[in-house]
Structure 1
Amino acid sequence: MDKKIEKKRFSTKTLLIIGGAIAFVAVVIYGYTLSLKKVYSADADKLTISKVEYGDFEDVVLLNASVVPLTSVIVSSSEGGTVAEIFTENGASVVKGTPLLRISNSNAMLSYTSSQTAATEQINQLRKSRLDLEQNQRVLNQDVLDVENSLRTATRQYRLDSSLFAKKVITLQEFNKSNQDYEYYQGKLKIVRQAIKQENQSRKMQLAQIDQSMGQMNESLEMIRKNIENMTIKAPVSGKLSSYDPVIGKSYNSNEMIGKIDVLQGYKLQAGVDEYYINRVKEGQTANCEFNGKTYNLIVSKVIPEVTAGQFQVEMVFKGATPEGLRRGLSLQTKLTLSDNSKSLLLAQGQFFQSTGGSWVFVVNNGKATKKNVKIGRKNYLYYEILDGLQKGDEVITSSYDQFNQYDQVEINK
């Protein structure tokens, strides 16, 4: 008896076609999903992945500090010009007043000479005025002597004629003449003395003005002489000459630095600090460095807030004795303490910060990294302080995000 064979609903071929279509659709959907999420594929060996830790945050900045003299004095010329003579070399030890070089400036010398001549002429004119006043005083004094002498003569004659007239030896006319002469010289002496008094008052004022003017002229001459002397540049202090490289014929502007003199009375450290810390570094903060196997403590003595090439400068002095063996130009690694240690979540420093500014990171989970917003506080030479967005044990990509910072997800290939 024949058995009825039921026809299959789907043949093998049909199933293969359907399976292929489903797979194609899945691939398309997956690809579309990836396109929406903007997934980037990266090799694990090209990434740096760090784990968030909990521990002591050491609030310090690691600096490469240079040893510089405690005190340096700039050597400059008050008058510009060209180098005519050089008397010493860079690195030489000098004492205060040692000639270093001579500047030549013909225009300045001509101006100084003209000013010197004019001042000398004014001084000579003032001296002549003083002599004229003294001569007038002598003339007036002589006039007083003459009038006093005439008055004495007239007084004797008047007294004699008074006696003779009383005895009727001389006439009234002769007596009146003697009386007239006597009164005349009395009046004349009074007028001369008043004139001398007024002349003395005027003379005192004129002499005071002359003395003041002569003092000013002499000061001008002294200044001119000093300016001429200053064409020869001398060491303002004793010490070691540095940053000094004059050449015959080289020109310097007025007050331009010619060199420095390092006063050999100790050393300090000078370092550049990233502008990120500009509001946190202050005078009085402590630091430490190692030299010849010993640790030395320092204190921030000066903060120079001007930012150049992303850094500002600080100066630090040693607390206590300066280490022996220091010399200018040595570089010492220095730890600058900003505040006391505190417990915090810590994330290792990395180049990711340059891409995100610390506002978000890629957090790794099961071979995939996704974006997550974070809040970063302080940083030191090893770690960032995590204030929000991460937990202890989270794994974060801390290498550069430059290749995938526009992507939403990173697939990490083992």
Structure 2
Amino acid sequence: MDRIVAKKRWTKKTIGMLAGAVLFGVLLIYVYRMSLTKVYAADADKLIISKVQFGNFEDIVLLNASVVPLTSVIVSSPEGGTVAEIFTENGASVIKGTPLLRIANPNALSGYTSSETSITEQINQLRKVRLDLEQNQRVMTQEMMVIENNLRTASRKYRIDSTLLAKKVITKEEFNDSKQDYDYNLGRRKIMEVAVKQENQSRVMQLQQIDISVKRMNESLETIRQNIENMTIKAPVSGMLSSYDPVIGKSYSVNEMLGKIDVLQGYKLQAGVDEYYINRVKEGQSANCEFNGKNYRLKVSKVIPEVTAGQFQVELVFEGKSPEELRRGLSLQVKLTLSANSKSLLVPQGQFFQSTGGSWVFVIIDGKAQKRNIKTGRKNYQYYEVLEGLQKGEEVITSTYEQFKDYEVVEIKK
């Protein structure tokens, strides 16, 4: 008698097909994930791998400073023109008043000469007016003397005739003649006194105005003569001439710099600082440098905040005695201290920062480097300060990321 045999649900064939489907699905998922994760293969010998450290962060910046004199005085041309004569050379030691060169400017010289002649003529005219006023005073003084003399004579005759009339020695008409002559000279003196007073007042005012005008004209003459003399450029101070390269026939405009005179009273250092530090560098901060095997302390004396080509300028002066062997133009490496040392996580400086700005790095895990966001703080000449995202002992790539900055993973080939 036949019996119904139940059909097996999980046959070897079914299990094999199911396993194959699962494996295929896993493979598809892996391929999909690999398509999403961009991987770059890099040779280990072409990478710089650095370890994250925990230690003292020296908040300093290295500067390449140049030695310059403490004081330099600019030599400029107060008159425009062309170089006619050169009396000294660059690098020469000069004393105040030493002629350096002569500027020729025929048009300016002609104008000065014409103005000088005109002013001289005006001064001579004012002097003539002064002489006329003095002559007029002498004439009026002489006239006053004549009137006074006539009045005395008439007064004396009037007194005598008054006595003679009382004694009836002379007639009334003779007395009247004497009195009339006396009254006339007395009135004439009063008129002359008023005229002399007015003339004196007017003369004093005119003489004051003449004196003021002559003084101003003499000052103008002095200025003109000084301008003519300024065509010969002289050293304004004693020192060493530098940045001085005139050539016969070369033209200079008014107040154009001709050179400098370094006053030999000591030296300071001048350095360019990366604009990254512009808010952290201040006057009074300490610095130090080494010269001929000795360490010297300095301080920031001036900060010039104008940024040119990514840098601003600072000036530093020595605290105490400066090295005797310093000379203009020498270069020294200076360590400028921005703040006190502190304990921090540190990553060595490298070219990776140009690509990431310190916002992420490639961290090495099991032979592969993966992107990780971090936060950096200060930097010095050796390290970046790490505030977040890394731990002590981890390794990161610190060489350039230019070849693989757009990848998520870097596979490091030994």
TM-score clears 0.5: yes
1:318 aligned partner, one-letter code: F
SS at match of 1:220: helix
Following superposition, the deviation at residue 360 of structure 1 comes to 2.0
Map 1:66-145 to 2 at 5 A: 66-145=66-145
How has the CA–CA distance of structure 1 residues 337 and 134 changed in structure 2, closer, same or farther, with 3 Å as cutoff? same
Paired position in structure 1 for 2:380: 380
Q: Distance in 1 between matches of 2:164 and 2:152?
A: 18
Q: Distance in 2 between matches of 1:175 and 1:169?
A: 10
How has the CA–CA distance of structure 1 residues 28 and 45 changed in structure 2, closer, same or farther, with 3 Å as cutoff? farther
Paired position in structure 2 for 1:236: 236
Paired position in structure 1 for 2:4: none
How has the CA–CA distance of structure 1 residues 273 and 394 changed in structure 2, closer, same or farther, with 3 Å as cutoff? same
Q: Please say which of residues 248-257 and 169-178 is displaced more in the overlay.
A: 169-178
Q: Distance in 1 between matches of 2:217 and 2:25?
A: 104
Q: Distance in 2 between matches of 1:403 and 1:368?
A: 16
1:345 aligned partner, one-letter code: L
Deviations 1:90-124, CA, capped at 9 Å, x for gaps: 11111111111101111211221122122112211
How has the CA–CA distance of structure 1 residues 329 and 58 changed in structure 2, closer, same or farther, with 3 Å as cutoff? same
How has the CA–CA distance of structure 1 residues 76 and 149 changed in structure 2, closer, same or farther, with 3 Å as cutoff? same
Aligned-residue RMSD, C-alpha: 2.2
How has the CA–CA distance of structure 1 residues 308 and 189 changed in structure 2, closer, same or farther, with 3 Å as cutoff? same
Paired position in structure 1 for 2:345: 345
Deviations 1:344-391, CA, capped at 9 Å, x for gaps: 111111112112222222222222222222221111100111122222
Paired position in structure 2 for 1:3: none
Q: Please say which of residues 336-345 and 200-209 is displaced more in the overlay.
A: 200-209
Paired position in structure 1 for 2:411: 411
1:199 aligned partner, one-letter code: E
Q: Please say which of residues 94-103 and 22-31 is displaced more in the overlay.
A: 22-31
Q: Distance in 2 between matches of 1:183 and 1:163?
A: 17
Paired position in structure 2 for 1:218: 218
Deviations 1:308-348, CA, capped at 9 Å, x for gaps: 11111111111111112111111111111111111111111
1:43 aligned partner, one-letter code: D
Map 1:12-411 to 2 at 5 A: 29-411=29-411
Q: Distance in 1 between matches of 2:74 and 2:295?
A: 32
Following superposition, the deviation at residue 260 of structure 1 comes to 1.0
Q: Distance in 1 between matches of 2:85 and 2:24?
A: 90
Q: Distance in 1 between matches of 2:375 and 2:206?
A: 82
The count of corresponding residues between Structure 1 and Structure 2 is: 404
Following superposition, the deviation at residue 164 of structure 1 comes to 1.7
SS at match of 1:168: coil
Q: Please say which of residues 387-396 and 30-39 is displaced more in the overlay.
A: 30-39
Deviations 1:236-285, CA, capped at 9 Å, x for gaps: 11111111111101111111111111111211111111111111111111
1:343 aligned partner, one-letter code: K
1:221 aligned partner, one-letter code: L
1:151 aligned partner, one-letter code: L
2:193 aligned partner, one-letter code: R
Q: Distance in 1 between matches of 2:80 and 2:32?
A: 74
1:211 aligned partner, one-letter code: D
How has the CA–CA distance of structure 1 residues 275 and 153 changed in structure 2, closer, same or farther, with 3 Å as cutoff? same
Q: Which 5+ residue runs of structure 1 have no aligned equivalent?
A: 1-7
Following superposition, the deviation at residue 211 of structure 1 comes to 0.8
Deviations 1:7-57, CA, capped at 9 Å, x for gaps: x9559xx99xx97x9888766644432332333332222222221111111
Paired position in structure 1 for 2:3: none
SS at match of 1:179: helix
SS at match of 1:266: strand
Q: Distance in 2 between matches of 1:358 and 1:129?
A: 86
How has the CA–CA distance of structure 1 residues 27 and 41 changed in structure 2, closer, same or farther, with 3 Å as cutoff? farther
How has the CA–CA distance of structure 1 residues 92 and 24 changed in structure 2, closer, same or farther, with 3 Å as cutoff? farther
1:136 aligned partner, one-letter code: N
Paired position in structure 2 for 1:4: none
SS at match of 2:78: coil
Q: Distance in 1 between matches of 2:27 and 2:45?
A: 28
TM-score, length-normalised on structure 2?
A: 0.92
TM-score, length-normalised on structure 1?
A: 0.92
SS at match of 1:322: coil
2:266 aligned partner, one-letter code: G
SS at match of 2:322: coil
Following superposition, the deviation at residue 235 of structure 1 comes to 0.9
Q: Distance in 1 between matches of 2:180 and 2:365?
A: 137
Q: Distance in 2 between matches of 1:52 and 1:363?
A: 10
Q: Post-superposition, which runs of at least 4 consecutive aligned residues in structure 1 deviate over 4 A?
A: 8-11, 21-29
How has the CA–CA distance of structure 1 residues 22 and 231 changed in structure 2, closer, same or farther, with 3 Å as cutoff? farther
